[in-house]
């Protein structure tokens, strides 16, 4: 059985912005960078009740809309506080115009 779950159309993504998807009850934010790369990290900020899909994307970071913590979209690591815990990152695959996540990791 394939581990990949279809979560969105690639056309739903816009460069430099995030969208929320909720496959299998998970709350995940998808981001497309200006270079076209697509990444997925948990949507909930690890510092508080903020949605990272609403954050400002700069380079390969997203800035939390509440207290401006920076998360690296490539692996969920914290680039700048006040958050200290990384956001879980999810493997992404683009195929046939669809965005797939591996939710088993
Ligand atoms: Fe995200 Fe505070 S809720 S930095």
Kindly state the percentage of the chain with pLDDT values over 90.
90
Domain of residue 84 covers 4-102
What pLDDT is stored for residue 1 in this prediction?
Answer: 64
Instruction: Please tell me the total count of domains within the chain.
Output: 1
What does the pLDDT read at residue 15?
Answer: 92
Q: What number does the ligand 1 atom closest to the CA of 48 have?
A: 3
**What pLDDT does residue 82 have?**
97
Question: Any idea what the CATH number is for the domain that residue 10 is in?
Answer: 2.102.10.10
Pocket of ligand 1 (CB under 6 A): 45, 47-48, 50, 64, 66-67, 69, 82-83
Instruction: Check residue 2 and give its pLDDT.
Output: 76
Q: What is the pTM of this model?
A: 0.94
DSSP notation for the chain: ---EEEEEEGGG--BTEEEEE-GGG--EEEEE-TTS-EEEEESB-SSSS-BGGGSEEETTEEE-TTT--EEETTT--EEESS--SPPPEE-EEEETTEEEEETT-
């Amino acid at each position: 059985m394939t581990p990949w779950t279809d979560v969105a159309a690639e056309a739903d993504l816009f460069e430099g912005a995030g969208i929320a998807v909720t496959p299998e009850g998970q709350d995940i934010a998808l981001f497309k960078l200006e270079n076209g790369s697509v990444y997925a990290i948990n949507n909930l900020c690890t510092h508080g009740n903020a949605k990272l899909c609403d954050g400002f994307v700069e380079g390969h970071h997203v800035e939390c809309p509440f207290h401006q913590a920076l998360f690296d979209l490539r692996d969920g690591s914290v680039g700048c506080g006040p958050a200290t815990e990384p956001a879980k990152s999810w493997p992404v695959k683009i195929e046939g115009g669809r965005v797939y996540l591996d939710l088993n990791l």
